[in-house]
Amino acid sequence: MSQFSDIKPSWCMGCPLYEAPGPVFAQPPRPAAILLLGEAPGRDEVQLNKNFIGGAGRVLRTWLRQTGLDIDECEVRNVVKCRPTTEGASGKPIDRAPTEAEIRHCAHFLAEELATIRPNLIVALGATALYVSTGCSPISAYRGRILEGPALRPLQKPTPSPLHKEGQVNATQTAGEACKVLPVYHPAFIMRQQELWPLAVHDLARAKVEGQFREIRQHKTYYTTTGSLPYHAAEFTALARAAGYVVFDLEAEGIVRHKNKGLDLGTGQITVMGLTTRPYEAHALHFTPDTQQLCHELFNDPAVEKVTQNGEGFDIPYCEHRSFNFAGPSFDTLQAFHLTNSDLEKNLDFIASLYAADIPPWKGDAMYKSGFDALKLGNCKDVDATCRAYLSLRDELRNLDMHDLYYKSVMPLQPVLRKMTARGLRQNEAQAHKMSFGARRLAKELEEKIKRVIGFDVNLDSPQQLRKLLYDTMGLPTQYKKDKKRGQIPTVDDNALDELAKVTAQPIFALIHKRRKVLKLDSTYLQTEPDDAGFVHYHIGSAKAAEKGEKGSGARNGRLISWSPNFQNQPLEVRELYIPDTPEHVLIEADWSQIEWRLAMVLAGEPFGLELLSQNVDNHTTVAAECFELPIAEVLRRDAEAGGGWGSPRFETKFIVYGLGYGRGATDIAKQLGRDITWVERFIQRFRTRFPIYWRWRDSLERQVSKDSYLRNAFGRRRWWYTRQVTEMYNFPPSSTAADMMYLILPQLERELPHEALRLTVHDSILLSVPKDLAKTAADTLRGVMHQHWRNIVEYSDRPNTVRHYYPDGWFCPCDVHVGLNWRECKKGNKQLTQYLNITEA
């Protein structure tokens, strides 16, 4: 028997949680319009017999303050009244979700509470509360939407309980009367996934209004699923022109999906075209000649804005493949939402949960595998949700001063990115096959060697067996990852192996780690699918719709991303595989020089840093001389001796300075460098002394986030923070500014470079494939555009007058231009080819 079983009512006998800490009934329930329903009490709640008073409770109260709700006017309860736990990694009990049996045994108490509280609205905090109150799951699909809740039935007979005096019944209830449920992520979950903080605040903001009445109120919708318009096409065209926009969404069948290239937009056919010109209305039209004629007319009208969800990634290019022409402005809700909420998902069902929450979840099998009529109804919901999101996002962009950034930077870039995807890069297929075969053979040899050394057979591709080998047999420190349902769980994923490599020199592990890297190199970078001409067509974008199982759908600082396959992180040895279009072409690559460091100096207005940049000296060498307290000649000598790598003062300086820029602390830097932490701290102190203005600027970023919860760059891009994610705060201003510079120069290069020269951008570099006779012209054009002056960045500096002293015509970032016969060769350049083509590299 536990110390808690003596204080539990007789009803608890036989409950699986009978020996668990609890129960927590807190104060007797009272009538309230809003019930905040959690999962189960935690450690603090059990000790003090009060709900939501620990860390999760503090977060919940913060949310309520931000949304104007008074927790004292709400009732706060849990689904189960005792604390369900399991043994954590340290051997101590940690919270877990209650089981079905535990929930059922405690349901009697919750029913009594509901009978007294009689809420208009239950705010279901977390998956368990959602499931118990509605039967719906998962919470990720339902959060933010108003659902029908349980029937509020009176107690059938007087029942003694810890909640009522014996024989007391609330006789005023109406049998079968239902309340509403608003699912919201549990505060404990948000504490582990802090980028979702604004979701909880947004969802709870609805509670104040919805708690005023019990019934579910929905706006009437008008959906046409007959396949044709309910009125003449000319009337619809007039409505679109009067509104200034048309929302469209297509459904297609027969599209081929390649393993590493994604969807082949040249395959398949359109079956349904959804259209609307106003919210709460949508028409799913069969793709007849009449529908096609209507679309041709609307898409080609420059006075009608074309509105889509992920249209830049699919609908527009798919239509362009079928001879549709698009004129005038377009609006992609995915791209707009990435600007306003870069940390959140970008898929339509998620966006709809914020801007069209009265549409129940509809994406999935119920839409795509239930027949043609279900598809047309789902298409109408797609169009309606997109329309409502568009109208809200358009206002948000104006209110956040990002309207110009969206229309003059983000959207003009999209057609350029599509053209780069269509052109692709030519691959040396024979060499790719050879490298892939060699990688698989090496992985097999490593596997056989590992098994010989450890003396028993093990499946190295089985996470379960590999965890047992690394953590149980070899005794390496267990690595964990966050799981939405189970919290911290042991893992042997790529990140875990990379972390283990930093803390162990165990020879067997080194072989295991090397094998994993070899296999990843092969599967990620060598197993590509070129087209018939040998070109690999990667996708490039500023944001994308997440595939199933993916977490990210765009860089939070605005950097461009690539996928299918990912070309942003191509290893140097793989870059050797990519070659010019023909033997009469060359590759040209230009890379902005140390752009994030330069931008940090400009944005801070750091005089010493600006002085170094104006002298055109090697920044890392000079800073190394200052912070190592060495003559520059000695820094250069040691750098040459170390080959520019580990052990070089210049290398270590670069590592530390960039680490500081990304928010790393002295402990982490010392661990990575293999240096004593005291030495690293002294280095940082000397750096702070030499760059005092820059350091004060860094501190000001934290103060600004603490005050405003966001940072803004020189182009108006914002990113929001609700917790102290210091690393990303420091890096956001320079990295996002560099990203927006790239957004603006790519369309300019597309206009000014030789035809189809622009192929790829990776971080701060641009890659071209051009005929040899146009190489010099292309290189000069590339350099000229990348060297342009940016007055707005100077004016956005903390000390614009200081920056103007060094850059009176506006700040510019120099770039290095290199020529090569493969992409890897462009890293340093082919000197002989450069001279032959009469190209200046610097």
| pLDDT tens, residue by residue, 656-712 | 888 887 778 888 888 888 888 898 889 889 989 999 999 999 999 989 998 888 999
Question: Tell me, what DSSP letter sits at residue 390?
Answer: H
Q: What is the mean pLDDT of residues 472-488?
A: 80
C-beta of residue 347 within 8 angstroms of C-beta of residue 553? yes
Q: What is the mean pLDDT of residues 511-520?
A: 94
C-beta of residue 170 within 8 angstroms of C-beta of residue 164? no
pLDDT score of 825: 95
Distance from C-alpha of 315 to C-alpha of 265, rounded to nearest angstrom:
9
C-beta of residue 186 within 8 angstroms of C-beta of residue 38? yes
Question: What would the 3-class secondary structure string for 650-694 be?
Answer: HHHHHHHHHHHHCCCCHHHHHHHHCCCHHHHHHHHHHHHHHCHHH
Order of strands, sheet of 578-579, starting from the edge strand that comes earlier in the sequence? 535-536, 425-427, 578-579
Residue 333 phi/psi, 5° resolution? -65, -30
Distance from C-alpha of 805 to C-alpha of 607, rounded to nearest angstrom:
10
Q: Are strands 121-125 and 34-38 parallel, antiparallel or unpaired?
A: parallel
Task: Give domain 5-210's CATH architecture.
Answer: 3-Layer(aba) Sandwich (3.40)
* CATH class of the structural domain 222-424: alpha beta
Nearest to 578 by CA among 820, 261, 783, 764: 820
Q: Assess whether pLDDT exceeds 80 at residue 717.
A: yes
Nearest to 76 by CA among 133, 132, 42, 30: 30
Tell me how many degrees the CA angle 384-390-392 measures, rounded to the nearest 5: 110
pLDDT score of 351: 95
Residue type, 115: A
pLDDT score of 163: 46
pLDDT score of 158: 39
pLDDT tens, residue by residue, 725-762: 567 889 999 999 999 999 999 999 999 998 899 999 99
Question: Tell me, what DSSP letter sits at residue 476?
Answer: P
Give the predicted TM-score (pTM) of the model.
Answer: 0.88
Q: Assess whether pLDDT exceeds 80 at residue 227.
A: yes
C-beta of residue 153 within 8 angstroms of C-beta of residue 123? no
pLDDT score of 4: 53
pLDDT score of 155: 46
Cα four-point dihedral sign 591, 595, 598, 603? positive
pLDDT score of 173: 37
pLDDT tens, residue by residue, 78-111: 999 999 988 876 778 888 899 999 999 899 899 9
Mean pLDDT of the chain: 89
Question: Tell me, what DSSP letter sits at residue 154?
Answer: P
Q: Assess whether pLDDT exceeds 50 at residue 327.
A: yes
pLDDT tens, residue by residue, 545-589: 876 656 557 788 999 999 888 898 889 999 999 999 999 999 999
Residues facing residue 589 across a β-bridge: 767, 818
Task: Give domain 427-536's CATH architecture.
Answer: Up-down Bundle (1.20)
CATH fold for the domain made of 574-600+734-842:
Alpha-Beta Plaits (3.30.70)
* Domain residue spans of the chain: 5-210, 222-424, 427-536, 574-600+734-842
More confident residue, 531 or 291: 291
Distance from C-alpha of 40 to C-alpha of 256, rounded to nearest angstrom:
48
Question: Tell me, what DSSP letter sits at residue 314?
Answer: I
pLDDT score of 36: 96
